[in-house]
Structure 1
């Protein structure tokens, strides 16, 4: 589909920060904002199928938010702003069905920590978004709510596992939302639909109220939005221990604005290959263009190699580590259920052989070597610039790709994202280019552990010079 520049007066293409500012200044009502997004869902969701459940009390919550503004109450940073949530994240008294008939009708009593924090910041839960069965695949398709489509081209996927979330935000059905990320799942979908997302350092945002819990050392909750400032604001709301998730213990300081850089000249390395698998030339050229843009701003920017990525292919390490834990969770969920209730990805997972103990130990050592390799890299550099995906958004159902002359299976789409899950490093996915077919191409801005402020700052610099900022699907 063709693209168009967003119009300043179109409510549903404003970012969350703008909406919050306008509500605070009484330039627009929370009721108007919520209604505009509900109308957008009614108009577009039948084609895109990003939204699976609309919160029945969203307008009531908007009226309460409007009353608070009129009373002059103290307002949270997202006061009156609607947000959406991936359907693997618990929402109190609103269906959370995890993309499976097995969990049809499941109605949690409590909000996940991330949802509760967005509400405490004044956000209004608008709807739940589609995902693959059990949050496990790079396409958002399941037996319960069907397949989500990419608003840039309905014949293509918006990705997975947070594909419904990415499609909803890209199409103007939501200004901001929450996804989860095991290997690719907030960054890949963001890249496929041209929005932005943040996978923070592992443990920064509690996973309490998210299923599956294993392997929790790889899982993350992250914000997805339209602007880097929205990611930064959401991160400031979401991050911090909750006393329930044992991995969420960091209390390090971070910024709530556009982030801050170290008090010295930033050093940035960029890497396309080797270490991630093959990468399409258009994607590679976009990474180079982003690197050149940063260099033109006076930053030290140069191509790099990371030997650890070449010694231990992170995707292979990840596959050997996570299968047994995920498999047990899937076994428990599907026990005693009809085969007709189980979709192909769960069946595939259940059919995989267990990793031998020798392979598991070798993979654990590979993960340690990767962490050490990145630690050495970040002694010299502040940021690593990489692809997010090796190709732009692809057609539905593709299982093999020819990328830069090499045939690979669909799991290779995770080649540049999964290293951050294996190591726990933070990364941002943001659009910086357009393919010859008119599809978004994104870059990944990676930082050292707990260095979210640095990558938010660098991403904001890229956003300020990006020629694609403000482009949306013409739907």
Structure 2
């Protein structure tokens, strides 16, 4: 296994393969060896794809034959185990689906393969992708590579842990309240939740509440995120929420003559750990140094509306019937987090309607904000990676529920806004600290541009967890 090789991002690996400096087989073996070496302690991988090495041999033959190559030809990728993969176990983190092997690939997997990427493995997540940590009855708990006593988050904790631990260069994950951006922040990698509907959810479960579900890439470089997004986005003719063509982009990116205006918001998500607040401030200072206008802002709608609370009210009513149906007769196989959904009292119709109205008001509030600003800079999570099964946090002397971890991410699922998480700091305990960038609907280019600016000056760029003692 070559640490130098598995440390490369997907874009660089594709370049090395295209130039015949390394072979797809060499790249695949290096990542398989890495999984063998470290995953027994991290538990990010639930299934290694049968045929991954053979697919690499086919990819190598195509290179040697001079065939036309896709932008990710021969590059391994992983996918969350809630995403269908033809011929490869997809068990949805539940004993109820033990042994399930789909006949077809999800749209996102089809698109990755079309670009030449090779499915390496499936990654762990909480049962039905419905919790802030990654643990379940069929494949167990995933640990954070930076500190095995800490969580990598959820629900895409297996994806983020695999990327951080150099077991994969790129993964496809899902997000219903925090699940791409939170795990990315807690493990020091990069995650993008594109505008709702940008990337089709076809072939991904659960299907409800689909108006809040998003899919997005997790990687170690902004250019990999941008490349994956360009390959994954666009309608597929099956997902009715996915209608906007990729060429429709409302962002300003790096348009000459138009300086970007970014609002910074920390206090609206209080309490926030001092290291997190300092990291957001440091990223704001860095952007100012690069010519971006950054200033503190308020978004009144965020102050008036508890986005996490209303999201939960809406999700419980829509999720319970679907979960009841699939778990009927298998009650002994339900893990505690899905049971927690069942134990939550139903939302009254009056409260449900009120929550719907608040969601619309929140969208209006962000729309008004984005008339004046091109982006928003804020925390991803209020704390760095926390202990497994933490029920509450003590932040600056204030005790809050562990659900507070979603306070800054849930508003984007309620509204469908795009958000990107990337590391820009380190806590006093040596753990990654991320920041969140938010842009208007369909303005992913703005996110990617700002993220690339921060990445170029990041004080933590290129850092990986030390797994030498595992």
TM-score of the superposition, structure 2-length normalised? 0.97
1:306 partnered with 2:306: no
1:31 match = 25
2:284 match = 291
What is the aligned residue count?
Answer: 465
Deviation, structure 1 residue 252: 4.4
**Alignment partner of 2:449 out of 453, 457, 461:** 457
* 1:40-59 → structure 2 map (5 Å cutoff): 40-59=34-53
**Alignment partner of 1:104 out of 98, 108, 116:** 98
2:325 match = 332
Q: Return the alpha-carbon distance in structure 2 between the equivalents of residues 81 and 417 of structure 1.
A: 30
Q: Deviations over 1:422-454 (max 9, x none)?
A: 000001000000001000000001100000001
**Alignment partner of 1:409 out of 387, 401, 404:** 401
- Contact 2:252–2:443, Cα closer than 8 Å, also in 1: no
Q: Return the alpha-carbon distance in structure 1 between the equivalents of residues 254 and 321 of structure 2.
A: 42
Q: Return the alpha-carbon distance in structure 2 between the equivalents of residues 464 and 91 of structure 1.
A: 35
2:359 match = 367
- Contact 2:48–2:122, Cα closer than 8 Å, also in 1: yes
1:19 partnered with 2:30: no
**Alignment partner of 2:337 out of 345, 349, 352:** 345
Query: CA 1:94/1:173 → structure 2, altered by over 3 Å: closer, same or farther?
Result: same
2:282 aligned counterpart, secondary structure: helix
2:159 match = 165
1:3 match = none
Deviation, structure 1 residue 259: 9.1
Deviation, structure 1 residue 467: 1.0
- Contact 2:2–2:30, Cα closer than 8 Å, also in 1: no
2:116 match = 122
Q: Deviations over 1:188-207 (max 9, x none)?
A: 00001000010000000000
Query: CA 1:27/1:173 → structure 2, altered by over 3 Å: closer, same or farther?
Result: same
1:431 partnered with 2:423: yes
Deviation, structure 1 residue 338: 3.9
1:468 match = 460
* 1:382-397 → structure 2 map (5 Å cutoff): 382-397=374-389
Q: Deviations over 1:121-146 (max 9, x none)?
A: 00000000000011011110000000
Deviation, structure 1 residue 13: 1.1
- Contact 1:254–1:453, Cα closer than 8 Å, also in 2: no
RMSD over equivalenced CA pairs, Å: 1.4
Deviation, structure 1 residue 260: 3.1
1:361 aligned counterpart, secondary structure: helix
Q: Deviations over 1:294-343 (max 9, x none)?
A: 0011111100010000011111111111111111111011101142x111
Deviation, structure 1 residue 277: 3.7
**Alignment partner of 2:80 out of 50, 61, 86:** 86
Q: Return the alpha-carbon distance in structure 1 between the equivalents of residues 50 and 88 of structure 2.
A: 8
Q: Unmatched 5+ residue regions in structure 2?
A: none
* 1:84-233 → structure 2 map (5 Å cutoff): 84-233=78-227
- Contact 1:179–1:223, Cα closer than 8 Å, also in 2: yes
Q: Unmatched 5+ residue regions in structure 1?
A: 1-6
Q: Deviations over 1:142-162 (max 9, x none)?
A: 000000000100011111000
**Alignment partner of 1:377 out of 365, 369, 376:** 369
1:446 partnered with 2:438: yes
Deviation, structure 1 residue 404: 2.3
Q: Return the alpha-carbon distance in structure 2 between the equivalents of residues 446 and 136 of structure 1.
A: 23
1:320 match = 313
Q: Return the alpha-carbon distance in structure 2 between the equivalents of residues 395 and 338 of structure 1.
A: 28
- Contact 1:432–1:442, Cα closer than 8 Å, also in 2: yes
Q: Return the alpha-carbon distance in structure 1 between the equivalents of residues 118 and 248 of structure 2.
A: 24
Q: Return the alpha-carbon distance in structure 1 between the equivalents of residues 165 and 53 of structure 2.
A: 20
Q: Return the alpha-carbon distance in structure 2 between the equivalents of residues 290 and 178 of structure 1.
A: 26
Q: Return the alpha-carbon distance in structure 1 between the equivalents of residues 116 and 400 of structure 2.
A: 45
- Contact 1:180–1:219, Cα closer than 8 Å, also in 2: yes
- Contact 2:159–2:172, Cα closer than 8 Å, also in 1: yes
TM-score of the superposition, structure 1-length normalised? 0.96
2:236 match = 242
Moved more, 136-145 or 396-405: 396-405
Q: Return the alpha-carbon distance in structure 2 between the equivalents of residues 206 and 445 of structure 1.
A: 22
1:68 aligned counterpart, secondary structure: helix
